[in-house]
Amino acid sequence: MKTILLLALLAVADTLATAATPAYSTVPDDSQPAFRVSLKYNSEVQRYEAYAQANFTQAAFPLGPSQITLVVPGQVADQSFNIVSATAQWQDYSSVYAPTVTPGLDFHGIHSMGKPIDVQADNPFMLFAFSLKEGYVEGVRLYINGQDPSSKQAGMMGGDFVNTMQNHKSVEFYREGLNERDLAQLTTKTTEPGEPTITVHPNPISGDVLTVTARQFAPGEKLSLRLLSVTGVEFARIEESVERLVNYRLRIPHQLAGSAYLYAERATPVSGPRSFCQKLIILN
């Protein structure tokens, strides 16, 4: 009887210990200092730009060894990218082309040894930029931690392409931006009567301009609007007061076709929804 009781107590203790250990994640939650990383396409100079946005302010933040991985369709030439560094020094350090697990994609790990950098909360700063001879290519995106192939999968050649931005003590600060799955889920959110919302017109879009109207917001509120590809690549970002967002004209870059998203976020914490997302159908 004593033996059975002892085994039962040990089992309970083991269960409690397991429950008290949080699941590992490379993505910090909103309550922790972090960098949200996103990819932008600058149509004026025809290049991609990787940005980070901190949720904290710190002078001489000790950025340590870091990696941002780019995922590109197989139609892009199998060669290293010429990386233009903006913050610290970055280079195309490792690449895998058409691995067995995803033969239609290539992976480029852009690596930096880091350096002290000044960061300001909610102020995006460029990490690096690169250009493709094709210009904009639909499907170029950032690697998604926990979803894209790991180093052990067929054809990945043991390469670790996980995105990471660490400090000098190897503490993880990386947080991914909006991806295709996030955007699709956001468009399914329902709006209750009387809640703030945004509307777009026309949709489907046959020209190069759409109009945006903010409705039911408190006077003086500000919104950040982002025009995104289906994979989360940013084409435009504006911040405006809701008073100005009445039939506000937003140009659609010619590179966007098929589907895209208009993502809006309130600048200050308020009651009700914090963010809004509209799927756009572009016919040109």
Q: What is the pLDDT of residues 51-97, one digit of tens each?
A: 999 999 999 999 999 999 999 999 999 999 999 999 999 999 999 99
Whole-number Å distance between alpha carbons of 152 and 101: 10
- The torsion angle over the Cα atoms of residues 185, 186, 190 and 196, rounded to 10 degrees, is 180
Contact, 224 vs 204, CB < 8 A?
no
Query: In the chain, what are the domain boundaries?
Result: 35-177, 182-282
Q: Which residues pair with 263 in a beta bridge?
A: 226, 277
Q: What is the pLDDT of residues 86-141, one digit of tens each?
A: 999 999 999 999 999 999 999 999 999 999 999 999 999 999 999 999 999 999 99
**How much of the chain, in percent, has pLDDT values that exceed 90?**
83
Is pLDDT above 90 for 192?
no
CATH topology of domain 182-282: Immunoglobulin-like (2.60.40)
Q: What is the pLDDT of residues 158-176, one digit of tens each?
A: 999 999 999 999 999 999 9
Q: Which residues pair with 236 in a beta bridge?
A: 227
Whole-number Å distance between alpha carbons of 244 and 140: 33
Query: How distant, in Å, are the alpha carbons of 39, 49, 154, 264, 282 from that of 179?
Result: 10, 16, 24, 15, 19
